[in-house]
Amino acid sequence: MKKILILCMLLVTMFASVCSAEAVSDYCKLDQSKWLWLSSTDYQGTFFDYTSVEKVPDKNEKKVWVCTYTWVDDSLGKGMHYVYVKYGINYDDYTAYMEQGEVRDENLEVVKSYDKLKYNPQPIQPGTVLDRLAKRVRSFGNGDK
């Protein structure tokens, strides 16, 4: 009986610490009315801009802006950084490629821009954040929420 009581107390303690944790998005300066959550940890969050979803004419493909924010200390500076990437997602062969990107600092000022990234399309692996993105974006038209 003591073991069950101790186990219950341990579970309650663990549950309470998880429930009282501050949401990662509280640190984020993105406009939450247009950026929808994809994934997060204690150190980063990933969102996509549902208003940026665009269908590629004559292809089973959509493009969308994704932002991942995280705390960094590297050559681009120290502090919160926001990494924006415009992805193309092809639903015929279930691949994705990066088209554009930029890094912004904690004040959302551009630190570095990348145009014409267009890497070769890479397969989207099941169970990844990119897989979750592809599934969520598939149902969106131009600006649908």
3 state DSSP class of 18: helix
What are the tens digits of pLDDT across the range 71-93? 877 766 677 888 999 999 999 99
11 vs 61: CA distance, rounded Å? 45
For the chain, domains (ranges, CATH) are 24-138 (2.40.128)
CA distance 139 to 145: 9
| Per-residue pLDDT tens digits for 100-133 | 999 988 888 898 888 877 678 999 999 999 999 9
pTM of the model: 0.74
